[in-house]
Structure 1
Amino acid sequence: MAETVTVTGNERPKKKKKEHEFILTAKKLLKNKLAVIGLIIIILQVGMAIFAPMMTSHDPVKQNLAASELPIFSEGHWLGTDNYGRDVWSRIVFGSRISLVVGIVAVSLGLLGGVTLGLLGGYYKKLDGIIMRIVDLLFSFPGILLAMLIIAVLGTSLINVAIAISIWSIPACARIVRGSVLSIKEKEYIMAMKSVGASDLRIMFKHILPNCFAPIIVFATMRMATAILSTAALSYLGLGAQPPTPEWGAMISQGQAFMWSSPHLTIIPGIAIMLTVFAFNVVGDGLRDAIDPNMDV
């Protein structure tokens, strides 16, 4: 019974501290008006992506040449139609799914690789030099060119776009995590864990990595904006989504030939990209201001 009381007593202050820190962070974030606007946009887009079939009665890839290039606010097509008669609103709605899924997959894979390399490099001095040289090599390529090179090798598809963007994300994530690990591993409680014989894996994953979550969360949020913009750019160049997939960058590419006769084919997906990238960037900025990167878990 004595042991049970001791463990419970130790856990409760930690849980209260975590809850208190979360509430403080949320309050700081909600005071940032731009971040709140960004959160609303993200929530609306996620809802639009999840409930896409319920938000439109039109098939995003079904052609109707008899109703091609209808202007906005046309009957039955409030955002008009493209040159193949496909409903622009339905393509925007289903395109949000593609942007979010590719972004989430790309950022997740990038975090997996970046966090692993940063953790190993920051904790083990012998590996640090090797890992950082690999990171420097990846940094030597401009991001979009590196992604284009990877896609040229793997082939054009949205899966390969996600892989390319994830590889592009690894070096930046690795440096952020490495910097955090280098500062955390010198703290007294880490030294104490080593002195009592705790394994390296236990120290890294239970005591160091949780304290790196703040910068990782901020990085992931802002990297989502980069991933979505990069997906659109690669699809615009013909390296990502292929017709008739309703992807925003591909929609801009297909609509640019009709810029003067039907400007909405280019402007509407451009606005969708702009709002989404803006939302993730301002939320990332808000998180960066609200989260204390030196907090202990």
Structure 2
Amino acid sequence: MTNAIITTGVQTSVNKKREKVYITTIKRLLKNKLSVIGIIIILGLIFMALFAPFLATYDPVKQSLVDSELPMFSNGHWLGTDNYGRDVWSRIVYGSRISLIVGFTAVSLGLFGGIILGLLGGYYKKLDGIIMRIVDLLFSFPGILLAMLIIAILGTSLVNVVIAISVWSIPSCARIVRGSVLSIKQKEYIMALRSLGASDLRIMVRHILPNAFAPIIVFATMRMGTAILSTASLSYLGLGAQPPSPEWGAMISQGQNYMWTSPHLTIVPGIAIMLTVFAFNVVGDGLRDALDPNMDIQ
């Protein structure tokens, strides 16, 4: 009974400290102007993806050869049309949905695998060597080549792109989590919980993992930009989204043949990718600085 009371007291103290850190982090993040701009862009993309059927003015895959290659601001197509007469704005809107879903799913799966491997490797010394050698093996492949290898084995589809990017994300996440676990497990309150008989699973899930969230959140935010860019790259190479899917990388691939006559077919989705990756990167940088107690954001 006494041990349970002490354990609860330790947990309450840690939770209050963690809440204070979160509030301080949010305040610091909002002082960073670039991060605020990035947050606004991300919220705009999420809004666009959620309300795509209402924001799109045309069916994104409906062809109209009569209206092919229309310039911007013509006949109700304010971003013009592609070589098949499909409305570019509508394809950009629906493309945001594809990019965010693929990016979020791939990063989430990568985090899940990386967190498990990082927790086990950092907490159990006997497993650390085995897990880190597996991670080193995955690191021996350049990221995009590893993704291309996985897709070559599984086949071309967005589902396989998600699998490929998630596998690519696992080793980096595992390294980050392992480093945090190695540091946190030496803290006095973890030692106290262990001496009071708390199980390893309870310590890892309820005490170590929540206190390792800071680097995980930063990694996940910045990885979203990488995942979206990788999805576009693989689709550009014909290994991801297949026609007539309105994916940004596939749109660039299809529009490059008309670069001189209809440059908007390449430029518009390129700008969409650039803004999205920029937004996630600056928010990730802002979070990293905000979570650093030695960083004073002016």
Global fold match (TM > 0.5) = yes
Identical counterparts, % of pairs: 79
Could you tell me how far 1:158 is from its partner in structure 2? 0.3
1:79 counterpart residue number: 79
Question: Partners of 2:12 and 2:168 in 1: how far apart?
Answer: 41
Question: Partners of 1:9 and 1:118 in 2: how far apart?
Answer: 28
Give unpaired runs (5+ residues) of structure 1. Answer: none
1:122 counterpart residue number: 122
Could you tell me how far 1:15 is from its partner in structure 2? 5.7
2:29 equivalent to 1:29:
yes
Secondary structure (helix, strand or coil) at the match of 2:141 reads coil
2:281 counterpart residue number: 281
Question: Partners of 1:146 and 1:46 in 2: how far apart?
Answer: 29
Check 1:293–1:61 CA distance in 2 against 1; reply closer, same or farther (3 A cut): farther
TM-score by length of 1: 0.94
2:20 counterpart residue number: 20
Could you tell me how far 1:57 is from its partner in structure 2? 2.4
Secondary structure (helix, strand or coil) at the match of 1:260 reads coil
Question: Partners of 1:129 and 1:11 in 2: how far apart?
Answer: 31
Could you tell me how far 1:187 is from its partner in structure 2? 1.2
Could you tell me how far 1:23 is from its partner in structure 2? 2.2
Could you tell me how far 1:190 is from its partner in structure 2? 1.2
1:105 counterpart residue number: 105
Query: After superposition, what is the alpha-carbon deviation per residue over 1:117-154, rounded to whole angstroms, capped at 9, x for unaligned?
Result: 00000000110000000000000000000000000011
2:250 counterpart residue number: 250
Contact in 2 for aligned 1:94/1:246 (Cα 8 Å) = yes
Question: Partners of 2:106 and 2:43 in 1: how far apart?
Answer: 20
Could you tell me how far 1:191 is from its partner in structure 2? 1.3
2:157 counterpart residue number: 157
Could you tell me how far 1:287 is from its partner in structure 2? 0.2
Contact in 2 for aligned 1:212/1:293 (Cα 8 Å) = no
TM-score by length of 2: 0.93
Contact in 2 for aligned 1:214/1:292 (Cα 8 Å) = no
Aligned residues: 290
2:186 equivalent to 1:186:
yes
Letter in 2 for 1:71: P
Could you tell me how far 1:104 is from its partner in structure 2? 0.4
Question: Partners of 1:16 and 1:106 in 2: how far apart?
Answer: 32
Question: Partners of 1:72 and 1:43 in 2: how far apart?
Answer: 26
Could you tell me how far 1:24 is from its partner in structure 2? 1.4
What is the root-mean-square deviation in Å for CA atoms of aligned residues?
Answer: 1.9
2:267 counterpart residue number: 267
Could you tell me how far 1:22 is from its partner in structure 2? 2.3
Question: Partners of 2:94 and 2:75 in 1: how far apart?
Answer: 20
